[in-house]
Chain A
């Protein structure tokens, strides 16, 4: 221990000992769940500043929770986006389709048709409603749980399944882990498995759009756990320094695999409040309220288009399923959490709202659910004609060496030749 001049070497020996704080979630397996500590503000009670306001005006909204749909299933307050019934039915349909897709792909993984899958159950609004509030050519830099964006933008389900099965129809040539889609035509950036790396990239894209005098904006999504990565802080810094037309979406689904949000700093401050230190507009939104997600995204998009700068949106939601097909959430969290989550389920809430305003009914919902399941089933059958993972119908093996560089350099040419020789020995009848 460092000593002071003329010290005894025992400096501080009579002071209380220090203690390390290691965050612990409120509930573990077997625990009774009580979410009464969560401050859920009243729907419609949050002020809606002008889109071009000073970032400081959003300060109360980084700790509050922007909500539109109340317990009465009606839309309330200044954040009500006043969507027509057709638009809301489309939103409901896209969310239902996303859920049906997840259900079937999850089963497909269990049946051994692919190696891996990730559901977004309970989080559908954070991608579907957000995508609907943006222009279809705004560029998105998603993380791995935003399949709802592709579905909303009309990307063919069969293409998604081809990618998940890594079959010969997979546009990505079987190189990426299942669910790591890419579609330039749908302004959907290639997904990385490295967390938060897409966030400074989204900011760079938005900066480029601004440099060019374009009108397209960018948006990016990451989990609350990933906000711990340095890349996220670089993204916030660059976004504010250059006033980039970008929306940074933090999907706070409470769990980063088995680590609860406290390990990303969520015990001490909301994730939306990260915006304050950067001088960025911030909104904390009920992520299970599709109308609130739509309204917040539309606000942020309008702000970006008006050159008023970036917005950080925290979508306060809950990951109803495991992290992925490789995860067992019953090993680390109370089984009751999912059912006790006080903000409900986004699909049910929108459905109940449409019913409450006389624009929907249970029968139509049942018909919609059936239609979604049938659509996914048909797409799955089509995709299976192109093969499933591990059953040989993959891209030709020489594609392994393509796209490392624009042109094949000599060392990859030599290695491709070796692969051809090996193939003849390993699979003589192929």
Chain B
């Protein structure tokens, strides 16, 4: 059965807005540029984000355009970066701190978990921390143990934090704008493997650049994508596959290649989660595969699996399966043995369909 591919829907009547083909880095830069110009309370800070424009170039040109007090470098101190952002948020600014790699977010964890996440609650709404912490995450770039981790589950476990993960340039711009406008603290993880192109999981084949991909069509100007709404990457009847970030493209490639009539949901935000879309899809297909790059035990896939089992059990025709990274630190030289690629995903799909 042939799969039906959905053309990306451009939200909010922007169908006619002029669009450009951007890669994810350019789309993020565009979103930041728009928010800096649109709202004087938005500021950007982080290691190397100022003059240099970020090691991935996401903030390139912004300091030059908006000045050193809107876009500036910080000491290498994540606790200070997040802690200062909490204070700035309490003052009334909307800081967008960058943590250069998600692997380095841990020194700032207490400020995120105990402080930013609970500020509204513990002050009964008197103080809020409207910050968006941007951080590149995930592997597949030979980054070794310290430049490859996917720590999203840690943040979804904390009451008061929102976790957002885009998978296309179009979504990266719209979701980042929505995150910056949100009054709650948002962790915005950027899948760095797909900054430049939609990686399909085949490490030994050339990666198609974004510019040739339909999802790289980014409308000019302001638009936002509401948090908590999943994107249907493609419709199908045989199996629901839940994924986010880089893995959206990998599962899409595997499903196409295997000719499986899969319905692929790109979750976009883990908290708040689009439970309605998940339920509707699993009730239709009766089968569910969850794919993420993070380690397996207590990963976000465990939460998804529990939710699907609790809420869709009588519609299920097969046990819910998870495909994940292994429960080891990210091994530098054995990266492609670790990565949950087409073989692991393909086996899981077969197992679920045969059940």
Contacts and interface: CB of A to CB of B under 8 A. Distances in A.
A241 B115 contact: no
B222 interface: no
A234 interface: yes
Nearest to A405: B184
Contacts of A238: 74-75, 77, 80, 83-84
Interface of B: 43, 69-70, 74-75, 77, 79-80, 82-88, 90-93, 95, 107, 110-111, 114-115, 119-128, 159-160, 162, 182-184, 228, 271-273, 275
Contacts of A194: 110, 114-115
Contact of B121 (A183, A218, A230, A404): A404
Contact of A200 (B83, B159, B228, B273): B83
Contacts, number: 142
A209 interface: yes
28 contacts: A172-B122, A175-B122, A175-B124, A189-B127, A190-B127, A197-B110, A197-B111, A200-B82, A200-B86, A200-B87, A201-B84, A201-B115, A203-B84, A205-B91, A208-B88, A211-B93, A231-B83, A234-B77, A234-B79, A238-B75, A238-B80, A238-B84, A403-B121, A405-B184, A406-B182, A406-B184, A409-B228, A409-B271
Contact of B91 (A172, A208, A234, A405): A208
Given A204-B83, A208-B91, A406-B184, A230 B107 contact: yes
A45 interface: no
Given A175-B122, A175-B124, A201 B43 contact: no
B160 A405 contact: yes
Contacts of B77: 234, 237-238
A200 B69 contact: no
B84 A200 contact: yes
A410 interface: yes
A238 B69 CA distance: 14
B62 to A, nearest CB: 15
Contacts of B273: 411
Interface string A206-219: 11110110000010
A194 to B, nearest CB: 5
A207 B123 CA distance: 22
A410 B275 CA distance: 8
A204 B184 contact: no
A13 interface: no
A112 to B, nearest CB: 24
B107 A201 contact: no
A410 B272 contact: yes
Contacts of A207: 84, 87-88
A409 to B, nearest CB: 4
B83 A175 contact: no
Interface in A156-201: 171-173, 175-176, 180, 182-184, 189-190, 192, 194, 197, 199-201
